[in-house]
Structure 1
Amino acid sequence: MRVAVGSENPVKVAATERALPDASAEPVDVASGVPEQPCGRDQTITGARNRAAAALEATGAELGVGIEGGVAHVEATEGLFLIMWAAVTDGDRWGVGGGPSLRLPAPVAARVEDGDELGPVMDDLLDTENVAERQGAAGVLTGERIDRESSLVHAVASAAGPFVTDRY
């Protein structure tokens, strides 16, 4: 099965390949249609859906996959959280699924709430580059117990449910 991934980020492509091991993943640079740093569940899911639809349209693959990381406040708790959502479509049907949510440390959250993007904030704090294309904030904030790729695998696998089982 040919699957178009709405990103050229190698972590997102690898997560899709792990979630859909029988698929051939084709990265496609597409716009999310949301701010670079999506805020809230709605914006983050919309970005994932937009990426999936645009990737499918650009390639004619069997499925389009969109993955979006964002930040959100979560009811019943304090702080700002990193959130991850994925969307999968065949052009008619949709699947949407989320990955883990991790509370951001207060200094990181403050910078993100002031308008900075999470990836560059993490790069700055760690004095590195492209943490989003390696372990991601998820890896850094969990002491490598999880990483960005494994977090995104769960989001993509959850979104792919309608396409890998007849339960829907």
Structure 2
Amino acid sequence: MYATKTTAKPLLLWRGSTLDNFTLQLTQSGLSQVMAHLTKQPYLKDFVAGNYTGNLPAAVASSLARLTQDALYVGTISDPNSNQKIRVFESTTESGSDYQILALTVSKTESTIISVRLVPQREETEYFLGAVIKGLGTIATKVAPKVLPKIGKAASRTLQKARPLGRRTLQKARPL
């Protein structure tokens, strides 16, 4: 008799879309990983506390669902140990905290959540949201970094980092 190699399909608990139409899914193993971080990283307790009704797994899943619906894809990193591609999504909670969702790439637009963490500290930057109006040139509005995830897909394409231009404070918006 020969043993056959079988791969068990992970138990899918939840699936949702980001603002830029990526699909994030939460599996039982992903939920376990996020819950394991709760004891090590105190900020995750605050992240889950608002949804806690006596059932910790349900609170974590509900918190991830809320975070996912306002998330935007920001890049991909590689796990040096396994060489797997990990997508990074950023989102802001209602309390103003910025989080990153780390998810393993499953397909072109689908990923499985493996971790959540606070956005690493970085220098404060300003962005201009530019709109080209015929005959008037570019009109720009300052946008705080925390507002970026709430702007949406179409507007996020025209965001650009503000650079001092002397007396000229407006610059033509270009896709990122």
**Shared fold, TM over 0.5:** no
Name the one with the larger helix percent.
1
Q: TM-score, normalised by structure 2?
A: 0.25
Instruction: Identify which of structures 1 and 2 has the higher relative contact order when contacts are C-alpha pairs closer than 8 Å and 6+ apart.
Output: 1
Name the one with the larger strand percent.
2
